[in-house]
Amino acid sequence: MLDKNKLSNWKLEKGKIYSDVYNKRNDERPVNGFASLQRATILDNRLYFPSADIRSQAINDGVFFLKIPSWINLEECDSFASNFYRGEHIHKYGKFREITSSYFNDPLLGFHTRSDQIEQFLLEHRFWQKVYPNAITNTGINLIRLSTIILRSILELTDIPIKDWFTATGGCVDSQGTYHLTFNHYRPYFQGIGLSSHKDDGFLTILRSNFPGLEVNINNRWESVSPLEDHFIINFGLSMELLTKNTIQPVNAIMHRVSHQSKDRHTFGHFTSSYCNPEKDAGIYSYSSKQGLFKVCNSRELINFNDEEIYEGTYPPDGENL
Ligand SMILES: [Fe+2]
């Protein structure tokens, strides 16, 4: 978690997002048992936990299970996650491995192989309709609705004035943020870790995973997440941590990684980030009752720097040798 005392001085720097948790980025300690994650549901368009204590625990952990609402159909997204990397001769969705960042004129988007086992197809909301099958676009739009419900329910617990919510979240509170759907395949024939430890950059991630392999760092212990049928895994990210750290309800971003996979593993995720496009950047904000709302960095820079640091590594903190 970010050091509260350093928050007002926090600035985004290349290779230094994880300086305060450097050891967790290069942490070869194995998991120590299974994570006991809290469970939530959506009731009447609100995020509902069985008790205030369970809710506090989930917010402190930075990760929890959410029962998949009946209005979200995952069939086509599951099929896409299992096939996007296979090649057109194997499956109709296999052609997506040929659609790379040059098609979108944006280095972040399209099909990517990474230095870890993961390979991904990542696409921002503004391209969904043009590129994805309709069923996937429709699910993506429902996931935006779901993320808005979760975000609003969390903001209600803070002392951030409602009039500031839109700016504070770069529009996400009214479903006007920037959203990415990413489909992931872990290549068993690759050596090394599935996915290096990191926090997600946005406010929250909705993760669909029926496969073991996700590991979360709670109370400085690595723990395995055993997926629950019919539940999403919700991760809070850096934007949420920065925004809430000095409010009456700080929300922790969860540090997570994926262990080495010896069989094919498929997942997909929906990311909710402060609005940014090539012309406009809503920014990342923090709030305290003393200072009010203040901008801490650019939205797109946080996404780019985080992505780079995940795969290229974190600079050792000052005074430590490489
Ligand atoms: Fe992640």
257 CA to centre of ligand 1 in angstroms:
7
Residue 49 maps to which CATH number? 2.60.120.330
pLDDT, average across residues 153-173: 98
What DSSP line would sit under 214-274, residue for residue? EEEEETTEEEE----TTEEEEEE-HHHHHHHTBSSS--PPPEEEE---SS-EEEEEEEEE-
The pLDDT tens digits for 253-291 are 999 999 999 999 999 999 999 999 888 999 999 999 999
Q: With the CA atoms of 265, 312, 282 and 239 taken in that order, what torsion angle do they form, in degrees rounded to the nearest 10? A: 60
Phi-psi region of 259 (alpha: psi -120 to 50; beta: other; left: phi over 0): beta
> What is the CB neighbour count within 10 angstroms for residue 291?
10
18: in domain: no
233 CA to centre of ligand 1 in angstroms:
11
Residue that the structure tokens 């997942």 belong to: 267
253 CA to centre of ligand 1 in angstroms:
10
44 CA to centre of ligand 1 in angstroms:
28
320 band by pLDDT with thresholds 50, 70 and 90 = low
206 CA to centre of ligand 1 in angstroms:
10
4: in domain: no
φ/ψ (deg, to 5) at 253: -85, 140
26: in domain: no
197: in domain: yes
Rg (CA), the chain: 19
112 CA to centre of ligand 1 in angstroms:
15
160 CA to centre of ligand 1 in angstroms:
26
59 CA to centre of ligand 1 in angstroms:
17
In the chain, the amino acid numbered 65 is F
Give pTM, 2 decimals. 0.94
52 CA to centre of ligand 1 in angstroms:
26
Contact (Cβ atoms closer than 8 angstroms) between residue 199 and residue 309: no
134 CA to centre of ligand 1 in angstroms:
26
Domain range enclosing 82: 33-312
Contact (Cβ atoms closer than 8 angstroms) between residue 197 and residue 124: no
24: in domain: no
121 CA to centre of ligand 1 in angstroms:
14
Q: Which residues contact 245 (CB under 8 A, 6 or more apart)?
A: 2, 4, 7, 286
276 CA to centre of ligand 1 in angstroms:
19
pLDDT at position 8: 57
96: in domain: yes
Query: What does the alpha-carbon distance between residue 80 and residue 77 come to, in Å, rounded to a whole number?
Result: 5
Name the percent of the chain lying above pLDDT 90: 81
291 CA to centre of ligand 1 in angstroms:
30
**Count: domains in the chain:** 1
19 band by pLDDT with thresholds 50, 70 and 90 = confident
204 CA to centre of ligand 1 in angstroms:
10
113: in domain: yes
pLDDT, average across residues 292-319: 88
Q: Which residues contact 88 (CB under 8 A, 6 or more apart)?
A: 94, 95, 98
321 CA to centre of ligand 1 in angstroms:
27
263: in domain: yes
The pLDDT tens digits for 174-196 are 999 999 999 999 999 999 999 99
pLDDT at 156 over 80: yes
322 band by pLDDT with thresholds 50, 70 and 90 = very low
pLDDT at 31 over 50: yes
Contact (Cβ atoms closer than 8 angstroms) between residue 180 and residue 125: yes
Q: Which residues contact 284 (CB under 8 A, 6 or more apart)?
A: 12, 170, 239, 242, 243, 274, 295, 296, 297, 298, 299, 302
